[in-house]
Structure 1
Amino acid sequence: MLTKYVENALATINSTVLAFQKAVPFSYVSQFAGIQAIIEQVEDAGKVHIIDLQVRLGTQYTMLIQALAAGSECPVEHLKITAVATSCREAIEATGRRLVSFAESFSLPLSFSIVMLDDILDLHGNVFELDDEEAVAVYSEYFFMMMIGSPDRLESLMGVIRNLNPRVFVITEVEANHNAPVFVNRFTEALFYYGAFFDAFEDCLKDDEANRMVLESIYFSKGIKNIVSAEGEERTIRHVKINVWREFFARFGMVEVELSMSSLYQANLLLKNFACGNSCTLDVDGKALIVGWKGTPTNSLSAWIFE
Structure 2
Amino acid sequence: MQFKKGVKEASKFLPDDGSLVVDLSFDERARKDPVFKVEKKMDNEDFVDVSRGKKNPYRGSIGMQEERSNKQSAVYSESTLSSDMFDKVLLCSGGKNESDLRKALNEVTKSAPQNDQSKGSNSGKNGGKRKGGKRNVVDMRTLLTLCAQAVATDDRRTANEFLKQIRQHATPTGDGMQRLALYFADGLEARMAGSGTRIYTALLNMPTSASDVLKAYHIYLATCPFKKISNFFANKTIMNLSENVTKLHIVDFGILYGFQWPCFLQRLSSRAGGPPKLRVTGIDFPCPGFRPSQRVEETGRRLARYAETFKVPFQFNAIAQKWETIKLEDLNIDKDEVLVVNCLYRFKNLLDETVMVNSPRNIVLNLIRKMNPAVFILGIVNGAYNAPFFITRFREALFHYSSYFDMLDAIIPREIPERMLLERIVFGKEAMNVIACEAAERLERPETYKQWQVRNMRAGFEQLPLNDEIMKIARNKVKSSYHKDFVVDEDGQWLLQGWKGRIMYALSSWRPTY
Alignment TM-score > 0.5, same fold: yes
SS in 2 for 1:3: helix
- Percent identical residues: 27
Q: Which residue of 1 aligns with 2:507?
A: 301
Matched residue pairs, number? Answer: 304
What are the residue-to-residue correspondences of 1:188-199 with 2, within 5 Å? 188-199=395-406
Moved over 6 A (4+): none
- From 101, 105, 125, the counterpart of 2:309: 105
Normalised by the length of structure 1, the TM-score is 0.89
Q: Which residue of 1 aligns with 2:277?
A: 78
Residue 298 of structure 2 is aligned to residue 91 of structure 1:
no
**Most deviating of 15-24 and 123-132:** 15-24
Residue 458 of structure 2 is aligned to residue 259 of structure 1:
no
Q: Which residue of 2 aligns with 1:115?
A: 319
Cα gap change, 1:122/1:225 in structure 2, threshold over 3 Å: closer, same or farther?
A: closer
SS in 2 for 1:59: coil
Q: Which residue of 1 aligns with 2:498?
A: 292
What are the residue-to-residue correspondences of 1:41-190 with 2, within 5 Å? 41-72=241-272, 75-88=274-287, 89-117=293-321, 119-149=322-352, 151-190=358-397
Unaligned runs of 5+ in 1: none
Q: 1:230: how far off?
A: 4.0
Distance in structure 2 (CA, Å) of the matches to 1:299 and 1:249: 17
CA displacement 1:131-184 (0-9 Å, x = unmatched): 222100000122211113355322321222111100000011101111123444
CA displacement 1:199-249 (0-9 Å, x = unmatched): 222133216621211222342123223324544444331111011111111
Distance in structure 2 (CA, Å) of the matches to 1:225 and 1:121: 25
Distance in structure 2 (CA, Å) of the matches to 1:9 and 1:192: 30
Residue 233 of structure 2 is aligned to residue 30 of structure 1:
no
- The 8 Å contact of residues 283 and 320 in structure 2, kept in 1 or not, is answered as yes
Distance in structure 1 (CA, Å) of the matches to 2:332 and 2:443: 32
The letter for the 2-side match of 1:140 is C
- The 8 Å contact of residues 77 and 109 in structure 1, kept in 2 or not, is answered as yes
Cα gap change, 1:234/1:54 in structure 2, threshold over 3 Å: closer, same or farther?
A: closer
- The 8 Å contact of residues 362 and 459 in structure 2, kept in 1 or not, is answered as no
Identify the structure with bigger relative contact order (alpha carbons < 8 Å, sequence gap 6+). Answer: 1
SS in 2 for 1:173: strand
More strand by share: 1
Distance in structure 2 (CA, Å) of the matches to 1:208 and 1:80: 42
Distance in structure 2 (CA, Å) of the matches to 1:142 and 1:182: 23
Cα gap change, 1:87/1:47 in structure 2, threshold over 3 Å: closer, same or farther?
A: same
Cα gap change, 1:271/1:105 in structure 2, threshold over 3 Å: closer, same or farther?
A: farther
- From 37, 40, 45, the counterpart of 1:4: 37
Cα gap change, 1:42/1:77 in structure 2, threshold over 3 Å: closer, same or farther?
A: closer
Unaligned runs of 5+ in 2: 1-28, 30-34, 44-207, 288-292
The letter for the 2-side match of 1:96 is G
- The 8 Å contact of residues 256 and 284 in structure 2, kept in 1 or not, is answered as no
Normalised by the length of structure 2, the TM-score is 0.55
Distance in structure 2 (CA, Å) of the matches to 1:232 and 1:127: 29
Cα gap change, 1:5/1:223 in structure 2, threshold over 3 Å: closer, same or farther?
A: same
- The 8 Å contact of residues 138 and 169 in structure 1, kept in 2 or not, is answered as yes
Q: CA RMSD of the aligned region, Å?
A: 2.3
- The 8 Å contact of residues 296 and 319 in structure 2, kept in 1 or not, is answered as no
The letter for the 2-side match of 1:126 is E
Q: 1:191: how far off?
A: 2.2
SS in 2 for 1:255: strand
Q: Which residue of 1 aligns with 2:421?
A: 214
Distance in structure 1 (CA, Å) of the matches to 2:495 and 2:324: 30
Distance in structure 2 (CA, Å) of the matches to 1:50 and 1:240: 25
